[in-house]
Amino acid sequence: MDRVIAAKVFIDVAQSCSFTVTAERLNMSRPMVTRYVEAMEDWLKTRLLHRTTRKISLTTAGEACLKDVELWLEQAEKITALANSGKELSGLVRMTASMSFGFSQLMPAIQDFMAQHPKVRIDIDLEDQAADLTEKSIDLAIRIAANPDPSLIGKPIAVCESVLVASPDYLNMAHQTIGKIQQPQDLVNHRCLGYKNLARHSWHLSQNDQFESVSLDCHLSVNEATALLHGTLNGMGVCLQPRYLANRYIQTGQLCHVLPEWKPKDLMIYALYSSRKHLSPKVRALIDHLEQYFAQHPW
């Protein structure tokens, strides 16, 4: 049996603690996972996993050799990549990204990449919670952050600018009952929509060398940007939105740019991968493609 695949299977089972989960993640049958693990044990002449009807766990020998197997696999993948550097890219890439960015920006970029590399398959998890890349066997995460997780490595591929927006209907109603929004502190009197995963809702704005932080009691909190966007479109209040979502609605007049002279803090969009994982040619090519694509297709 292929020792490289057997090493991948063993490492995945050690992380997932489940033959069934590993079978699903590696797109193979459960009996095949069992055979690869048994082959690893035969080659190393030791039992690597405790197997019971309830759980799978590493033996003492399995724990002792896991890191060495990971290092061996990394070296094997590097050698394979060098040998195949002139060949067409192929294989599976597992990705994760936020729902809003995945829906609005990632799909066309991925479509373009797959058209160029038809033998590459891509599996994407869209979730707003940060996933454990090692635990879920994810090759690449697209994340928007001020400071990315220091346990991950990668590169910035685009800038995420944000804007304050509200619907014309909300602003017309608010102008008559509350007043116009002329300064950042005016927002305190208005209905504002915020992200549920923030303990405090504070919007940090700047104008040249002036800085304002506005603490808000948001009337609606949601844990996903697209839902907040549609709440804003429905006239529910003022919201801080990424430009990659809001720009098209500002251009059509469905949303108004509130306090356009005041700029929210920019965030970076990062392509991140686990520092424990060798970056394969297809993943490196995908990162380079995303950086180039977003530079050529600004939102």
pLDDT tens per residue across span 20-52: 988 888 888 999 999 999 999 999 999 999 988
Residue-level pLDDT at 281? 86
> What per-residue confidence (pLDDT) applies to 152?
80
Q: Which residues of the chain are in CATH 3.40.190.10 domains?
A: 91-156+268-296
Mean pLDDT of the chain: 89
- With H, G, I as helix, E, B as strand and everything else as coil, classify residue 158: strand
Fold of 91-156+268-296: D-Maltodextrin-Binding Protein; domain 2 (3.40.190)
266 vs 219: which has the higher pLDDT: 266
Cα dihedral 281→81→20→61 (10° resolution): -130
The stretches of the chain forming alpha helices (DSSP H) are 3-16, 19-25, 30-44, 60-83, 99-101, 107-116, 168-177, 225-233, 243-252, 281-296
Whole-prediction pTM? 0.71
* Cα separation values, 90 from 108, 116, 117, 285, Å: 20, 11, 7, 11
What single letter denotes the amino acid at residue 147? N
pLDDT band, very low/low/confident/very high, at 165 (cuts 50, 70, 90): very high
Strands 263-264 and 220-222: unpaired
Residue 277 has pLDDT above 60, yes or no: no
**Buried-exposed string 68-92: b where 16+ CB fall within 10 A, e elsewhere:** ebbeebeeebeeebeeeeeeebeee
Question: Which residues sit opposite 116 in a β-bridge?
Answer: none
**What is the pLDDT at residue 158?**
96
Identify the pLDDT of residue 198.
Answer: 56
- Closest among 101, 231, 218, 91 to 165, alpha carbons compared: 231
Confidence of residue 193 (pLDDT cuts 50, 70, 90): very high
Kindly indicate the confidence band of residue 196, based on its pLDDT and cuts at 50, 70 and 90.
confident
Give how far the C-alpha of residue 130 lies from the chain's centroid of Cα atoms, to the nearest Å. Answer: 7
Q: Retrieve residue 236's tokens.
A: 């529910």
Domain boundaries for CATH 1.10.10.10 within the chain: 3-83
Range 220-256 burial, b when 16+ CB lie within 10 A, else e:
bebebbbebbebbbebbbbbbbbbbbbbebbeeeebb
Higher local confidence (pLDDT), 152 or 62: 62
Report pLDDT for 85: 60
Range of weakest confidence among 135-144, 181-190, 254-263: 135-144
Q: Find the mean pLDDT for residues 259-283.
A: 86
Q: Kindly list the distances between the CA atom of residue 122 and the CA atoms of 93, 103, 111, 181, 288, in Å, as whole numbers in the listed order.
A: 5, 15, 10, 45, 16
User: Could you tell me which CATH number the domain at 162-265 has?
Assistant: 3.40.190.290
What CATH number has the domain spanning 3-83? 1.10.10.10
pLDDT of residue 275: 61
Confidence of residue 260 (pLDDT cuts 50, 70, 90): very high
Mean pLDDT of 170-188: 95
Q: Where exactly does CATH 3.40.190.290 map onto the chain?
A: 162-265
Residue 245 near residue 104, CB atoms below 8 Å: yes
Which whole number is the average pLDDT over 151-179?
93
Mean pLDDT calculated for residue range 138-166:
89
Residues whose CB falls within 8 Å of the CB of residue 266, separated by 6 or more in sequence, listed in order: 159, 160, 161, 162
One-letter amino acid at 76 equals: A
Whether residue 234 is predicted with pLDDT greater than 90 in this model: the reply is: yes
- In this prediction, residue 40 carries a pLDDT of 92
> Chain-centre distance of CA 212, in angstroms?
30
Give the residue among 170, 225, 165 at the shortest CA–CA distance from 198. 225
**Residues 74-100 pLDDT 10s:** 787 777 666 666 678 888 999 999 999
Residue 276 above 80 pLDDT? no
Q: How confident is the model at residue 211 (pLDDT cuts 50, 70, 90)?
A: very high
Cβ-proximal residues to 295 (8 Å cutoff; 6+ apart), any chain? 158
> What percentage of residues in the chain have a pLDDT greater than 70?
95
- Cross-strand bridge partners of residue 91: 120
